[in-house]
């Protein structure tokens, strides 16, 4: 490789530094310009978006006020003899529907109030400007008039008056007037958005202000905006409409003549962030230039030191060569380009196929290609290339030390270290004898020599680790203590060799019936232990899983064995105990499982028993309940009860389908006792499909009954049922088979079910909504409700959880929650149904809060379909 002397490198280096600084300066200028353009575009988009929203909001609200005032002519008698209180009440009803208007009144030409929406009626005068009132009353044109800001006598607030001329039936000139507080109009203009830095003006074309935000004093005379001189879409360097500062000004004409809304953004506000970013970019560029100069100076000094270092390396190379040949380990030195620089005699002894092949300058890949033929003599080209790539990757990743096993069985310890120049020092040490000795010692210390399973020592170590992990994770594990039945008789009759063969076969069957992560150990004789870790966070569920695994092991061990021509029928006794729910030692767990095993022995063996008798009883009851529930599906013991849902006026609009189990011995079993068992097995899918089919069949039967044809039926959907990939197909097929009308079916989902996979839930709900199916969020308020997902879900109804309804009027916080849910439902155009309504007081509070529907014992308890139909026919609801 050609080496350049330092006297030629230094000038080139400084020239490169100068070019780099020039490029950096240009890039900095371009970045500053780009940031300014971005700030300008962002400001324009913000102002345009704000003006458009303000324009739409003002037009909408002014039209609503105009419609309100124009309807007064037809709504009121407008006669001197008219009932003032009656007309005032009618105005109050109309005004209540417009949140912007605080008061509506009809006044005559002298400003006397004829009728008013306020309770005080005509007794309260309006502070109308005299010229404004005279202009409205005397106008022959039927249009909307707007006053300048006035201080209201009644509220002491700044207000605007909107008016339209009216003609009384006696020929008298009247005016319909609406009082609008400027504070409410300001909310319409801002639309609830942050207006920091913006100057907003609602004005007439002659420059008179109706409303200005913020309320700053004018900087001076600012020219009025004319209809015939429209502003450009984006006008910079114009005086702001309030402060007069140079600004971006956007003005929009409203649908009513001579009125417009103008928004100004001062340039110093628009470019404030850009100025900060400009300073930061400039500072960073200066710092980087300084760093480049310092690095160049350090590099030049390094060149001077490099020459001296090369001389020192050459002097020490001869001494190093002598030391390398005396090493007991193989040695290879690579340069920065992965080429062989040096090797020693021991390397050739370890890898004899490299004799006469390795040479200086040979790439390390070539060395590996020569070696892979001997490492993988029967391997394909692809396998050999993969071996080479893996070996090079280990070197690149800097794993340091690893081992290679040669075809003759020798184990070579490989240690790789990087050199200062980027090369590698690789040493090869034969550790075959050391590894064999360590493996033999470890196996004798921790494994059973007959079966190869972990012995008692290793079991206790793993059990101790499992106890620590179980305490941290909260997951319960189980320990199964197993003893072979009648093993001594087999040993005595057929000999110990046959007994040993049986123990080896038992070990293999145990390993085949457990998970890879579980531990199977032999304590000695015919005693084995199976450690099952991380079964479940639920103690009861963990016990059930342990029971199933234990029964599986018993079935596996009961299969016949063929031992040296003899057929042996095996059996075992298993004692079980759980760990992780409380602090226990490994020795104590073994003792508990041993005690439980002897209880099985006392019962003639070939069974499983838990150390805790209560746990065993609970497991048996749970297994019996699951078996009974499977039988219930076959023998049609499940029935649906219907709990009515009604409007607050008492009209029954639907019902919720509630599952009941009519057991021949247990009687009526409530869902709380068997739904959990069903959800932990596949039964919940069959039960959910049965409920859906039964509900749809009932809807189809009601189509011919006038009193029931309009009723909605709500069906609860479990999480496992909803997450099925073909859930949408199941619902659609059920509707088609039964002939039920889809818009009368409401599927109730819990918040947690929806939030588990929001995108999947939205997709399935949209597919069903296109068919007409309705959706309701059950127990709303108990989860993590948020508008972020509510606005995306195709919902029709929110159900207030009964825990909040129960405390209405008792706990103020629950009142606030109920009001919030009802308000949220109204804003999202959703029905709101309160469940668990049991008292008239609760119903009265729900009426006061504006709830739509209710359900609970106050209306009716869940009942069979026949009782439900009789209730409808008799009008009991």
Tens of pLDDT, residue by residue over 377-429, are: 878 888 888 888 888 887 777 666 777 777 777 788 788 888 888 888 888 88
Average pLDDT of the residues of the chain: 83
- Which pLDDT belongs to residue 712? 93
Q: Please, is 31 exposed, middle or buried when counting C-beta atoms within 10 Å of its C-beta (0-12, 13-18, 19+)?
A: middle
| For residue 323, pLDDT beyond 80 | no
d(CA 105, CA 422): 92
Q: What is the mean pLDDT of residues 769-793?
A: 77
Per-residue pLDDT at 55 exceeds 90:
no
Give the number of other CB atoms < 10 A from CB of residue 495. Answer: 12
471 phi and psi angles, rounded to 5 deg: -65, -35
User: Distance (Å, rounded) from C-alpha 556 to C-alpha 264?
Assistant: 84
Q: What is the CATH number of domain 473-611?
A: 3.30.70.270
Which of helix, strand or coil describes residue 666?
Answer: coil
**Tens of pLDDT, residues 151-195:** 887 778 888 899 989 877 777 888 889 989 988 888 888 876 665
Judged against a pLDDT cut of 80, whether residue 685 lies above it is answered with yes
Cα torsion 312, 313, 319, 323: sign: positive
pLDDT in tens, 731-754: 999 999 999 999 999 999 887 777
- Of residues 230, 261, 223, 229, the one with CA closest to residue 244: 223
SS (HEC) of 593-611? HHHHHHHHHHCCCCEEEEC
Q: pLDDT confidence of 1, banded at 50, 70, 90? A: very low
Q: State residue 619's pLDDT score.
A: 63
On the question of a common fold for 52-269 and 327-436, the answer reads yes
**How confident is the model over 701-731, as pLDDT tens digits?**
999 888 898 999 999 998 888 888 899 999 9
pLDDT of 786 higher than 60: no
Question: What CATH architecture does domain 52-269 belong to?
Answer: 2-Layer Sandwich (3.30)
CA distance 330 to 350: 7
Whether the Cβ atoms of residue 215 and residue 195 lie closer than 8 Å to each other: no
Higher pLDDT among residues 855 and 343, named by residue: 855
| pLDDT for the residue numbered 877 | 42
- Alpha-carbon distance of 262 to 207, in angstroms, equals 11
Supply the CATH classification number for the domain 327-436: 3.30.450.20
Cβ atoms within 10 Å, residue 321:
11
The DSSP code for 447 is: B
Q: Long-range contacts for 341-347 (Cβ within 8 Å, ≥24 apart)? A: 341/423, 346/428, 347/428
Q: Top-level CATH class of 629-874?
A: alpha beta
Cite the DSSP H helix spans in 654-702: 675-679, 683-702
Q: Are 712 and 746 in contact (CB under 8 A)?
A: yes
In the prediction, which pLDDT does 743 show? 92
Exposed, middle or buried, 583 (CB in 10 Å: 0-12/13-18/19+)? exposed
Provide mean pLDDT across the span 642-649.
90
Query: What mean pLDDT is predicted for residues 554-578?
Result: 89
660 or 392: which leads in pLDDT: 660
Residue 862 pLDDT level (bands cut at 50, 70, 90)? very high
Contacts of 555 (CB under 8 A, 6+ apart): none
CA dihedral 311, 315, 321, 326 (to 10 degrees): -140
- How many Å apart are CA 553 and CA 556, to the nearest integer? 5
For the chain, which residues make up each domain, given as ranges?
52-269, 327-436, 473-611, 629-874
Residue 613 has pLDDT above 80, yes or no: no
In the prediction, which pLDDT does 872 show?
Answer: 87
pLDDT band at 350, cuts 50/70/90? confident
pLDDT band at 341 (very low <50, low <70, confident <90, very high): confident
Burial (Cβ within 10 Å: 0-12, 13-18, ≥19) of residue 138: exposed
Residue 379's Cβ-count burial label (10 Å; 0-12, 13-18, 19+) is middle
Q: What are the CB-based long-range contacts (under 8 Å, 24+) for 282-285?
A: 282/28, 282/32, 285/24, 285/25, 285/27, 285/28
What percent of the chain clears pLDDT 70, i.e. is strictly above it?
90
The partner residues of 454 in beta bridges, in order of sequence, read 447
How many beta carbons lie within 10 A of that of residue 222, not counting itself?
Answer: 20
Q: How confident is the model at residue 520 (pLDDT cuts 50, 70, 90)?
A: very high
pLDDT digits (tens, 9 = 90+) for 687-698: 999 999 999 999
**Average pLDDT over every residue of 38-52:** 84
Pairing relationship of beta strands 652-663 and 667-669 according to DSSP bridges: antiparallel
Average pLDDT over residues 312-329: 67
pLDDT at 121 over 70: no
Residue 781 Ramachandran class (φ > 0 left, ψ -120 to 50 alpha, else beta): left
User: Mean pLDDT throughout 116-143?
Assistant: 77
C-alpha R_g of the chain: 44
User: What pairing do the DSSP bridges indicate for beta strands 340-343 and 527-536?
Assistant: unpaired
């Amino acid at each position: 490789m050609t080496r350049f002397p330092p006297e030629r490198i230094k000038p080139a280096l400084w020239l490169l530094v100068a070019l780099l600084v020039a490029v950096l300066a240009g890039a900095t200028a371009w970045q500053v310009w780009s940031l300014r353009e971005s700030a300008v575009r962002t400001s324009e988009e913000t102002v345009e978006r704000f003006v458009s929203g303000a324009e739409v909001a003002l037009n909408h609200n002014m039209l609503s006020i105009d419609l309100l005032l124009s309807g007064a002519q037809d709504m009121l008698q407008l006669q001197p003899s008219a009932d003032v209180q009656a007309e005032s009440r009618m105005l109050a009803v109309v005004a209540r529907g417009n949140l912007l208007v605080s008061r509506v009144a009809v006044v005559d030409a002298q400003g006397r109030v004829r009728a008013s929406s306020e309770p005080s009626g005509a007794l309260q005068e309006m502070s109308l400007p005299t010229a404004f009132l005279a202009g409205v009353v005397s106008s022959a044109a039927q249009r909307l008039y707007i006053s300048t800001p006035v201080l209201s006598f009644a509220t002491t607030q700044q207000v605007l008056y909107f008016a339209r001329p009216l003609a009384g039936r006696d020929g008298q000139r009247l005016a319909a007037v609406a009082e609008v507080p400027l504070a409410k109009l300001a909310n319409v203009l801002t639309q609830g958005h942050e207006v920091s830095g913006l100057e907003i003006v609602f004005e007439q074309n002659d420059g008179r202000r109706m409303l200005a935000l913020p309320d700053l004093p004018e900087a001076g005379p600012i020219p009025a905006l004319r209809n015939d001189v429209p502003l450009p879409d984006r006008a910079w360097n114009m005086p702001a409409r309030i402060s007069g500062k140079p600004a971006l000004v956007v003005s929009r004409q409203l649908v009513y003549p001579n009125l417009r809304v103008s928004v100004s953004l001062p340039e110093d506000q628009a470019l404030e962030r850009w100025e900060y970013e400009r300073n930061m970019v400039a500072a960073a560029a200066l710092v980087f230039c300084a760093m480049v100069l310092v690095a160049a100076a350090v590099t030049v000094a390094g060149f001077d030191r490099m020459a001296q270092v090369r001389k020192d390396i050459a002097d020490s190379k001869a001494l190093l060569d002598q030391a390398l040949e005396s090493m007991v380990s193989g040695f290879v030195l690579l340069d920065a380009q992965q080429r062989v620089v040096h090797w020693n005699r021991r390397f050739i002894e370890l890898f004899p196929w490299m004799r006469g092949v390795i040479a200086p300058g040979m790439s390390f890949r070539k060395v590996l290609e020569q070696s892979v033929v001997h490492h993988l003599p029967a391997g394909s080209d692809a396998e050999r290339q993969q071996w080479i790539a893996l070996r090079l990757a280990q070197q690149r990743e800097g794993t340091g030390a690893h081992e290679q096993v040669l075809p003759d069985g020798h184990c070579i310890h490989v240690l790789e270290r990087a050199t200062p120049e980027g090369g590698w020092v690789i040493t090869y040490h034969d550790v075959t004898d050391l590894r064999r000795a360590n493996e033999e010692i470890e196996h004798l210390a921790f494994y059973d020599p007959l079966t190869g399973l972990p012995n008692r020592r290793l079991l206790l170590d793993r059990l101790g680790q499992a106890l620590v992990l179980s305490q941290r994770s909260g997951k319960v594990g189980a320990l199964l203590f197993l003893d072979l039945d009648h093993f001594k008789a087999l040993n005595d009759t057929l000999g110990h060799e046959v007994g040993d063969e049986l123990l080896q076969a038992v070990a293999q069957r145990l390993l085949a019936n457990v998970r890879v992560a579980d531990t199977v150990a032999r304590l000695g004789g015919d005693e084995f232990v199976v450690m099952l870790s991380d079964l479940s966070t639920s103690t009861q569920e963990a016990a059930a899983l342990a029971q199933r695994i234990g029964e599986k092991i018993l079935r596996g061990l009961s299969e016949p064995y063929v031992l040296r021509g003899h057929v042996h029928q095996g059996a075992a006794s298993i004692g079980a105990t759980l760990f992780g729910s409380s602090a226990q030692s490994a020795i104590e767990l073994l003792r508990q499982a041993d005690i439980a095993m002897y209880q099985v022995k006392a019962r003639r063996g070939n069974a499983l028993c838990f150390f805790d008798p209560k746990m065993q009883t609970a497991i048996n009851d749970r297994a019996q309940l699951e078996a009974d529930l499977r039988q219930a599906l076959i023998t049609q013991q499940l029935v649906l009860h219907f709990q009515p849902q009604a409007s607050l006026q008492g009209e029954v609009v639907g019902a919720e389908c509630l599952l009941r189990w009519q057991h021949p011995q247990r009687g009526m079993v409530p869902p709380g006792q068997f739904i959990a068992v069903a959800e932990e097995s596949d039964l919940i899918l069959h039960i959910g499909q049965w409920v859906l089919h039964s509900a749809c069949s009932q809807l189809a039967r009601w189509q011919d009954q006038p009193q029931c044809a309009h009723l909605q039926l709500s069906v609860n959907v479990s999480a496992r049922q909803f997450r099925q990939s073909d859930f949408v197909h199941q619902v659609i097929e059920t509707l088609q088979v039964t002939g039920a009308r889809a818009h009368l079916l409401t599927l109730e989902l819990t918040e947690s079910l929806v939030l588990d996979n929001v995108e999947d839930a939205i997709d399935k709900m949209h597919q069903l909504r296109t068919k007409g199916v309705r959706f309701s969020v059950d127990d709303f308020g108990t989860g993590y409700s948020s508008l972020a997902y509510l606005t995306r879900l195709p919902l029709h109804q929110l159900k207030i959880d009964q825990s909040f309804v129960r405390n209405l009027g008792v706990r103020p916080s629950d009142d606030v929650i109920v009001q919030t849910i009802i308000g949220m439902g109204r804003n999202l155009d959703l029905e709101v149904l309160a469940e668990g309504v049991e008292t008239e007081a609760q119903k009265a509070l729900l009426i006061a809060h504006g709830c739509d529907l209710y359900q609970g014992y106050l209306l009716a308890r869940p009942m069979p379909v026949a009782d439900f139909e009789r209730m409808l026919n008799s009008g009991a609801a």
